[in-house]
């Protein structure tokens, strides 16, 4: 069956054969991967990775939202957003005041898709996920400020959502919604911890925020790398120190994920020295209050996105960056590089399927 790409622009639709988009399926076999005692009785196993690649030309994609095994939404550079559904790529672009915005955040509340631009002006668009793709998104939030730079957005549940950005005053920029994303309100600095000099965040993979039930964790980088934590959906906040490398403009935490309310991982490093393995990954078992470095001075170095594999009791973790794909089978204590393919972000459908995004590419990954 011929697969197609559908592009939309100014409400005009073109259907293009997917062969022109260089869609390919690559099956790579990795043999003799050491599997930890905790999971596989310290035996040698063969790991089969099956990448189904979709080319998205002229678009850097750091934000993806998985709906199911056959559907993923994305938002990227040059005002581009779209979805892949049943192997059909649908792409659109949107401009604000004749300027194409750059998107690095996307979120899904179970009904609607939201995507957010990073720079001034910061705009959040809303679009019903189940509607015809040709139906245009509309603005639900806007913020104009020369210092505006937003990094990440997610929903805690179908009503409560949060987005965060770099400081404009003496606190992080944090906006929340309590009605499913129709209205967004910025939290006043008097209700947030004060940021320190040179502290900000990185829009690397839309994973500066992690949530679990009522808990929210926000990570920072730059001259300081800390954890901002709320246990009540953003009403009150605490802030905790971490041992992740910090002190320079491009050092710090780039990504966070929590398996449950206590078990979490932070990763990052030095974007300017990606092969520097020192203080790039740490774990917590107390909800983020304290952190311990793991596999220190060992690969991986710089990581832009890390995610727990579902239904693995927090044992399996997959991390990605332009340095490759890395797997841990023992809660981050040790890591194995399983692919040289370069990605910015990863999201799991289940413990055998994930979607990944990078520069001009989205991939569906199947592995055992």
Confidence (pLDDT) at 72:
98
Confidence (pLDDT) at 45:
58
Which option is the CATH number for 19-367: 1.20.1250.20, 3.90.550.10, 3.20.20.70, 2.130.10.10?
A: 2.130.10.10
What is the value of pTM for the model shown? 0.88
Confidence (pLDDT) at 47:
87
Listed as ranges, residues in the chain with pLDDT below 50 are: 1-44
Cα end-to-end distance, the chain, whole Å:
27
Cα separation, 181 vs 67, in Å, equals 18
Q: What is the DSSP string of 193-238?
A: PPPPTTEE---SSS-SEEEETTEEEEE-EES--EEEEESSTTSS-E
Of 8, 114, 118, which is closest to residue 65 (Cα–Cα)? 114
Of 180, 23, 201, 183, which is closest to residue 112 (Cα–Cα)? 180
Confidence (pLDDT) at 27:
38
Per-residue pLDDT tens for 126-142?
Answer: 999 988 898 999 999 99
Phi, psi of 189 (to 5 degrees): -60, -25
Confidence (pLDDT) at 132:
86
Confidence (pLDDT) at 317:
98
Cα separation, 325 vs 33, in Å, equals 14
């Amino acid at each position: 069956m011929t697969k197609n790409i559908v592009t939309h622009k100014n409400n005009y639709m073109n259907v293009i054969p997917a062969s022109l988009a260089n869609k390919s399926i690559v099956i790579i076999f990795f043999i003799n991967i050491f599997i930890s005692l905790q999971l596989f009785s310290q035996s040698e196993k063969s790991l089969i990775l099956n990448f189904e690649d979709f080319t998205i030309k002229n678009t850097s994609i750091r934000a993806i939202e998985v709906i199911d095994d056959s559907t993923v939404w994305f938002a990227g550079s040059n005002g581009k957003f779209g979805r892949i559904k049943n192997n059909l790529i649908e792409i659109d672009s949107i401009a604000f005041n004749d300027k194409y915005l750059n998107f690095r955040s996307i979120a899904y509340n179970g009904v609607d898709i939201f995507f957010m631009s990073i720079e001034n002006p910061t705009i959040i668009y809303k679009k019903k996920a189940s509607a015809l793709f040709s139906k245009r998104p509309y603005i639900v939030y806007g913020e104009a400020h020369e210092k505006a730079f937003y990094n990440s957005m997610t929903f805690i549940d179908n009503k409560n959502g949060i987005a965060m950005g770099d400081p404009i005053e003496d606190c992080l920029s944090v906006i929340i919604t309590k009605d499913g994303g129709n209205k967004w309100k910025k939290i006043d600095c008097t209700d947030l911890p004060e940021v320190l000099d040179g502290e900000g965040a990185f829009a690397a993979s839309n994973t500066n925020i992690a949530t679990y039930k009522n808990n929210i964790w926000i990570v920072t980088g730059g001259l300081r790398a800390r954890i901002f934590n709320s246990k009540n959906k953003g009403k009150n906040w605490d802030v905790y120190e971490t041992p992740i490398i910090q002190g320079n403009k491009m050092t710090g935490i780039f990504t966070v994920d929590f398996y449950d309310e206590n078990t979490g991982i932070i990763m990052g490093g030095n974007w300017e020295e990606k092969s520097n393995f020192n203080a790039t990954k740490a774990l917590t078992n107390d909800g983020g209050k304290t952190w311990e470095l793991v596999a220190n001075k060992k690969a991986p170095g710089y990581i832009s996105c890390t995610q727990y594999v579902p239904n693995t009791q927090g044992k399996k973790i997959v991390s990605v960056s332009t340095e490759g794909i890395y797997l841990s089978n023992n809660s981050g204590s040790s890591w194995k590089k399983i692919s040289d393919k370069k990605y910015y972000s990863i999201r799991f459908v289940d413990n055998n399927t994930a979607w990944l995004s990078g520069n001009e590419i989205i991939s569906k990954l199947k592995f055992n």
